[in-house]
Amino acid sequence: MPRRAAAQVRSLEPDPLHRSRLVQQVINKVMLEGKKSSAEQIVYDALAILGERTGTEPVEALEASIKTLTPTLEVRSRRVGGATYQVPVEVPPRRARTLAVRWLVEFARQRREKTMAQRLANELLDAQSQQGGAYKRKDDIYRMAQANKAFAHYRW
């Protein structure tokens, strides 16, 4: 049993430009060394590129990309006797969205485009067309959960 209470979930303030909590979450994930203004500039530039290329509202395009990257199942390790099983479990909505944003930024950083805004925009576009590193990560995790479906009765 934990000795302390569970950490309080703090609500996220919407970003100043688009009034979107999702945009603010992406900004916070892009931010390095506390430089929020730089992160805001990167994300807003990426959204501008995304809106230009898709011809839709940038925040709607971002939400569509994040929805594509959001996992439904993941595997958790569970010890039974001497064996450790990878047990498939459903991902809670808050964790699913957090994972999607984390993967998006992680794989955008690994891309080879010149600026971070271009990398982020291209990763978002790839996600919409079900390509890219972040989508591949989601797909791999889903496949692993499907492969371990036999251990689903070990859920707790």
Per-residue pLDDT tens for 49-86? Answer: 999 999 999 999 999 999 999 999 999 999 999 999 99
Residue 113 and residue 122 in contact, taking contact as beta carbons nearer than 8 Å: yes
Residue 76 lies in a domain: yes
Q: Structural domain tally of the chain?
A: 1
Residue 4 lies in a domain: no
Residue 9 lies in a domain: no
pLDDT at 156 > cutoff 90: no
Residue 122 lies in a domain: yes
122: Cβ–Cβ under 8 A, 6 or more apart, which residues?
108, 111, 113, 132
Residue 136 lies in a domain: yes
Q: What is the CATH number of the domain that holds 28?
A: 1.10.455.10
Which structural domain range is residue 70 located in? 21-154
pLDDT of residue 67: 98
Residue 71 and residue 142 in contact, taking contact as beta carbons nearer than 8 Å: yes
Mean per-residue pLDDT for 86-103? 98
pLDDT at 118 > cutoff 90: yes
Residue 5 lies in a domain: no
Q: Is the dihedral of CA 6, 93, 132, 55 positive or negative?
A: negative
Residue 15 lies in a domain: no
Question: Could you tell me the pTM of the whole model?
Answer: 0.94
Residue 69 and residue 134 in contact, taking contact as beta carbons nearer than 8 Å: yes
Burial pattern 4-28, b for ≥16 Cβ within 10 A else e, equals eeeeeeeeeeebeebebebbbbbbb
Residue 6 lies in a domain: no
pLDDT of residue 51: 96
**Local structure of 76: helix, strand or coil:** strand
User: Which residues are registered as beta bridge partners of 80?
Assistant: 83
| Residue 130 DSSP one-character state | T
Look-up of token digits 């395009």: 61
